[in-house]
Amino acid sequence: MKKFLLILSIITLTFSSVSAQDQIIWNQVGIEVNDGYGSDLLDLLDSFYGSIELPDGVSISLTQVYHSDENHRATHYMTFAGTSSGLSELRQLRSGPEYNDYTTNFSKYAKTISNSIGSPVIRMNTDATDGNIAQVWEWRVEDVFAFVDAFNRMTSVWSPDGYLSLGAITGGQSVEGESHYVYTTYSTYQEMLEFGPKTEKEQAAFFDFIKETDAYSAFKGTFSMFNVKTWN
């Protein structure tokens, strides 16, 4: 029952906020690519997704994991993002003989190891579109509303220069139970290395967020990735 109530609160908060966020939904597929077949996989993806007309507002991106812990199996992610209607339309396009050939060849180069869905609750700096490097932090959150409130208070004092979002993972969680994430982008590798609050006031806001949310959430880890190609 406790887990059900947690999921219900995630969905309630997500969809109460999503109308102001253009109802963006993402479907992220974790991929483990066979050694030496990264370029073959890219060519395969390009041959299929580059040949179909994507629904309005839908984008597909292939990213490669750069920094992660030793238990992070996915080497790449395919992310499908857009409205629910756009993603549903895309799903209809992923069918037929051409798609069957694509899936057959896909298995030669890689295997799918995860499939999750979610949506941003808060988005900031949405015009920062040149960030090809991204970092993700994940938590299992017990008090969703308190976590979002703490995040808002922190970002009113400090937030990165790139695109920033706080979102909910609504399906496909691992046994670790991660439920929320923070996602931010960087324009350069140096920018990622220099990430973090700079002034005393910003540092205080950052550590207040960590200290407060530790009471009702469990940090599950972080990883970074860079964009290989985007279709839109």
Q: Residue 213's domain is classified under what CATH number? A: 3.30.70.100
| Alpha carbons 113 and 116: distance in angstroms, whole number | 10
| pLDDT-based confidence at residue 14 (cuts at 50, 70, 90) | very low
| pLDDT-based confidence at residue 7 (cuts at 50, 70, 90) | very low
Residue 129 confidence (pLDDT): 67
How much of the chain, in percent, has pLDDT values that exceed 90? 78
| Alpha carbons 204 and 154: distance in angstroms, whole number | 9
C-beta atoms surrounding 66 within 10 Å: 14
Domain containing 25 equals 2-231
Q: Are 32 and 74 in contact (CB under 8 A)?
A: yes
Which pTM does this prediction carry? Answer: 0.85
pLDDT digits 0-9 by tens, 92-123: 998 889 999 999 999 999 999 999 999 999 99
What's the per-residue H, E or C state across 18-31?
HHHHCCCEEEEEEE
What's the per-residue H, E or C state across 213-229?
HCCCEEEEEEEEEEEEE
pLDDT digits 0-9 by tens, 133-156: 999 999 999 999 999 999 999 999
Q: Which two tokens stand for residue 217?
A: 């959430």
C-beta atoms surrounding 39 within 10 Å: 11
**Overall domain count for the chain:** 1
| pLDDT-based confidence at residue 12 (cuts at 50, 70, 90) | very low
Bridge partners of residue 30, in order along the sequence: 77, 114
| Alpha carbons 222 and 182: distance in angstroms, whole number | 9
Look at residues 154, 226, 138 and name the one whose alpha carbon lies nearest to residue 185. Answer: 226
pLDDT digits 0-9 by tens, 162-190: 999 999 999 987 777 899 999 999 999 99
DSSP letter, residue 20: G
pLDDT digits 0-9 by tens, 38-87: 999 999 999 999 999 999 999 999 999 999 998 899 999 999 999 999 99
Look at residues 188, 67, 71, 197 and name the one whose alpha carbon lies nearest to residue 135. Answer: 67
